[in-house]
Structure 1
């Protein structure tokens, strides 16, 4: 018994030593995570309960910032509405267009690799350069779109300067950068993972191309669709750069998205406490929508394992 007890103690010591070495190896990451992620998150929550303008010490005011946001700040509601509008329109459009491009590239046509590269290029083009290009395209006087419309006798709108057209214009800009990027790659990976035997069996049973897509391709792609929907919603609520560069939140606050308004409160109005409260509201909204999506996924997402 004594040799067995000694051997067990030796094994436990070796495991503790191995665990200690493991923690030592990852300690720089742990320290960085605590200082650069957890620390700022906790600090922002505290600041959301204060009146703080960077140059003055924070003054604790409880939930006043949250109460102000939901009861006394019309721009908070406006920015939230603009963001929801953007997400509801842009996410389905980007998912559908990315799926169509992936289906096209999965047909084994000639020059597929070339087209895949061309479709992917907008997603790796510098964002600021792309937005400046689209500002020129949407320019009302000498932009490409209005010039083309003038050739057929149509007076083009002001686009980015129009309260009616500014959000659709920004949605087009967002689609330019997202459709051919990671969403398309995820769909391509999903398409290429579908066993060809399933298509052969469906063809033998007399299923048309449409029925094969509807009964075979689409169900097996639902995990990829679900993944892209979640990331698309998160990205939609974080939209900032296009509106900041192209419109600055105008005209008439029609492109004042939530994160843009948060940015203005933090760095233009120097109201860090209120901006922190807005950040936590955004986090809770995204978490709630993500939880809802995960709950609904049990009804429509199909996994080959049967889960």
Structure 2
């Protein structure tokens, strides 16, 4: 004769199911936000990039195809944008990483006024990008800028950073290095503080000097954090955009500083009528480039660890 399940068994099963599904309740708000504001836009951009002659207002298009990608890949402005973006990444990332390692190492020492120096270096993180950019614009001024003033102290002629095309890109790189230093320093400083002090004590007992300790202990043990910083900053630098407006009010004085993100912005926002299909195609291409670079960096990191 079959027995009916008791109330205790039913209650136990309900409590068990409730405990197993409890994490879904806490995860649901975040998951909904990711789906609405991240996953859906990504899918929408990818699909739109294949819609030819797409009208953003009416949502009408002539058909599916690769016409948007063909136009973007043949556009000389997009070629210039990729060239400028790659050069920007290859200059800003190494320079900012090296400077950040040195500054983080100094800030990690027990020196006087270390708190003041940390505040000074971290201040850009809580300051408006546009406001800081305007300050840099005054600093880059050809006649009265403080940068040319200091160059003059060393006998170097003043550089027309903002009005001449040859000075535009160096000015953008200098500002870019300064802009990402705070975040880089914070991550590297946290990595330094996780290094066991016994390594330094043993090295000093063996008679190793500061330079040898830095290159034989600090840098190797800090390498995982350095790779993390480089991956994050590479993604950020490939999306360089905000830095252009306060310095040049656009892509350089002669439209010579097109970047990948500014090209997307130009096609969608400035071009009349808006070329939404071209903008989305360029965005997908940029996504693929960033993804490939990230995977290459992770591959190199794993190889060095092994």
Q: TM-score, normalised by structure 2?
A: 0.89
Task: Note the C-alpha offset of 1:266.
Answer: 1.0
Task: Note the C-alpha offset of 1:87.
Answer: 0.3
8 Å CA contact retained: 2:100, 2:184: yes
Find the counterpart in structure 2 of residue 189 from structure 1.
190
Q: Are 1:202 and 2:203 an aligned pair?
A: yes
Alignment of 1:161-240 (within 5 A): 161-179=163-181, 181-240=182-241
Find the counterpart in structure 1 of residue 253 from structure 2.
251
237-246 or 83-92: bigger deviation:
237-246
The superposition leaves residues 163-216 of structure 1 with CA deviations (integer Å, 9 ceiling, x where unpaired) of 22211111111122221x121111111111111111122222232222222221
Find the counterpart in structure 2 of residue 295 from structure 1.
299
For the residues of structure 1 that align with 2:154 and 2:291, how far apart are their CA atoms? Answer: 48
Task: Note the C-alpha offset of 1:118.
Answer: 1.2
Find the counterpart in structure 2 of residue 146 from structure 1.
148
Find the counterpart in structure 2 of residue 66 from structure 1.
69
Q: Are 1:271 and 2:272 an aligned pair?
A: no
For the residues of structure 2 that align with 1:56 and 1:183, how far apart are their CA atoms? Answer: 44
SS for the counterpart of 1:282 is helix
CA 1:202/1:61 → structure 2, altered by over 3 Å: closer, same or farther?
A: same
For the residues of structure 1 that align with 2:113 and 2:4, how far apart are their CA atoms? Answer: 70
Find the counterpart in structure 2 of residue 113 from structure 1.
115
8 Å CA contact retained: 2:180, 2:233: no
8 Å CA contact retained: 1:47, 1:58: no
Give the 4+ runs in structure 1 shifted more than 6 A. Answer: 2-9
For the residues of structure 2 that align with 1:193 and 1:121, how far apart are their CA atoms? Answer: 24
Extract unaligned runs of 5+ from structure 2.
Answer: none
For the residues of structure 2 that align with 1:109 and 1:153, how far apart are their CA atoms? Answer: 33
Candidates 92, 96, 99, aligned match of 1:97: 99
For the residues of structure 2 that align with 1:223 and 1:215, how far apart are their CA atoms? Answer: 15
8 Å CA contact retained: 1:265, 1:275: yes
The superposition leaves residues 19-69 of structure 1 with CA deviations (integer Å, 9 ceiling, x where unpaired) of 444424433332232222211111111111122242343313411111222
Q: TM-score, normalised by structure 1?
A: 0.89
Number of aligned pairs? Answer: 300
Task: Note the C-alpha offset of 1:128.
Answer: 0.5
For the residues of structure 1 that align with 2:4 and 2:208, how far apart are their CA atoms? Answer: 70
SS for the counterpart of 1:34 is helix
The superposition leaves residues 94-128 of structure 1 with CA deviations (integer Å, 9 ceiling, x where unpaired) of 10111111111112111111111111112321111
Task: Note the C-alpha offset of 1:221.
Answer: 0.1
Alpha-carbon RMSD across the aligned residues, in angstroms, is 2.4
SS for the counterpart of 1:185 is helix
The superposition leaves residues 237-295 of structure 1 with CA deviations (integer Å, 9 ceiling, x where unpaired) of 01101113322102333321110111111111111111111111111111100000111
Task: Note the C-alpha offset of 1:147.
Answer: 4.2
For the residues of structure 1 that align with 2:229 and 2:235, how far apart are their CA atoms? Answer: 10
Candidates 51, 54, 71, aligned match of 1:52: 54
CA 1:152/1:189 → structure 2, altered by over 3 Å: closer, same or farther?
A: closer
Extract unaligned runs of 5+ from structure 1.
Answer: 302-306
8 Å CA contact retained: 2:235, 2:290: yes
122-131 or 2-11: bigger deviation:
2-11
Find the counterpart in structure 2 of residue 304 from structure 1.
none
SS for the counterpart of 2:165 is coil
